[in-house]
Amino acid sequence: MPYSRNKIRNWSGLLDSKISPADVVGMTQQLAFMIEEGLTLTKALHTLHDQETNAKLKHLIQDIITQVESGVPFSEACNTHVDTLNQFFVSMMHAGEQGMGLPTVLRRVATHLEKENEQRKKLKQVFTYPIVICSFCGIIISCLIIFIIPVFAKVYTQLGASLPLPTQLLIAISHFVRTQWLLLLMGISAITLGLMHPKSQVLRKNVQHKLIMAIPLLGEVSRKASICKFIRTFSSLLVCHVLISDALSITEHIVSDSEISKKTNQIKEKIESGESITQTMKESQLFSPMIIQMINVGEEGGNVGELLEKCATALEHDVDAVAKKALIIIEPTLTLGVAVIVGFIALAIYLPMFDMMGHVQ
């Protein structure tokens, strides 16, 4: 089937790493526009190829042109690049070929990918700030531990000062880092390489998911964004007459939240066994009462996809509001946290000095 996983790699397997989601959005929008205006698919693809400046995307388009001109359906040609275009894109193209019409489907996909890209940018804003602040804090703490604390430790040793527990702890940590830095570096490198290995992809996603979900606000933003992506992808596929079980299979692999992916598979199995969409969605405990009610109404009227599209729009506004709230709260909280940590280290460094000054007086 055109949306099945296909690991065919072209151009020495280097295509996918350099083609961004924004590139795919731009390509889809231009392709939709040209076909809507009457150009044939091959002419539109040739035009895209001639004007494309991204070498990797240019190679991808050329490969699709070669396949299409040899008689391969457009969706199957796209399927050979499923790692770049993803299963949703390929399935929608297949739906267009089966009767929805390629111009209509391309415009819908372009809108879908554009909204998804906009949401991705907003989420990056939320997650980038904590990463930058935590990295900055880590650099400051490392400099204090490696360079500053040993100087004070040497002075206090020479003076025979009595060291309080916080100072002793910092000196012990500093000594360990300075003497065992190679062991620490090897350990961090081993963990990083292990998680980056292709066979560790599932483990890496699970670890990343659990870490994000454990952080207040960030976990809420991530979960709402994943549910929104689920609803928009699922609804778009249903509107284009993709079978429910196939739509759920595609959505399961597109949503990055491991828990939602797992429950999506359970929902698919229950629907295939004869249960209603409304009941299975409700049992998953992933979706709000509003979404469940819309699914129920849509199931009775035969327009689940259309109603879920409206839910997706409402969820996008909800995600935006939560993301803004998270940024407002996270910024001062992290700043205060960094100040507390650095202040504690500074206090621990100077405590023995204050104690000596008290004895002198």
Separation of alpha carbons 152 and 320, rounded Å: 48
- What is the rounded CA–CA span in Å between residue 361 and residue 359? 5
DSSP code of residue 5: -
Percent of the chain beyond pLDDT 70?
94
Q: What is the largest CA-CA distance in the chain?
A: 94
Work out the average pLDDT over 171-178. 91
Q: Domain 11-100, what architecture? A: Up-down Bundle (1.20)
Q: How many CB atoms lie within 10 A of CB 26?
A: 19
Count CB atoms within 10 A of the CB of residue 41. 18
pLDDT at 102 over 60: yes
Distance CA 253, CA 264 (A): 9
Contact 231, 308 (CB under 8 A): yes
Say what the pTM is: 0.78
* pLDDT tens by residue, 244-298: 989 999 998 888 788 888 899 999 999 999 888 899 999 988 898 989 999 999 8
User: What is the spatial distance between Cα 148 and Cα 157, in angstroms, rounded to a whole number?
Assistant: 15
247, 210, 209, 206: which is closest to 230 by C-alpha?
247
Per-residue pLDDT band for 359 (boundaries 50, 70, 90) equals low
337: pLDDT strictly greater than 80: yes
Which residue type is seen at 157? Answer: T
Q: What angle do CA 27, 1, 55 make, to 5 degrees?
A: 25
Q: Does the structure show a pLDDT above 90 at 73?
A: yes
**% of the chain exceeding 90 in pLDDT:** 27
- Are the C-beta atoms of 290 and 227 separated by less than 8 Å? no
Structure confidence at residue 358 as a pLDDT band (50, 70, 90): low
Neighbours of 311 (CB within 10 A): 23
Residue 294 burial (CB count, 10 A): 24
Q: Average pLDDT of 173-189?
A: 90
Rounded CA-CA distance 2/265 in Å is 20
- b/e string for 82-102 if b means 16 or more Cβ within 10 A? bbbbbbbbbbbbbbbbeebeb
* pLDDT value at residue 15: 37
**Number of C-beta neighbours around residue 147 at 10 A:** 11
Contacts of 233 (CB under 8 A, 6+ apart): 88, 112, 250, 251, 254, 255
Token pair for residue 154?
A: 């040497």
The answer to whether 320 touches 122, Cβ cutoff 8 Å, is yes
**Which DSSP category does 12 fall into?**
G
Backbone φ, ψ for residue 216 (5° rounding): -55, 145
Token pair for residue 175? 């000594």
CA 236 to chain centre: 20
Q: Is 271 exposed, middle or buried (0-12, 13-18, 19+ CB in 10 A)?
A: middle
Q: Is the dihedral of CA 56, 41, 71, 83 positive or negative?
A: positive
Give residue 361's pLDDT.
52
Which tokens hold the place of 212? Answer: 């994000």
Residues of the chain with CATH 1.20.81.30: 11-100
As a whole number of angstroms, the distance between CA 164 and CA 182 comes to: 29
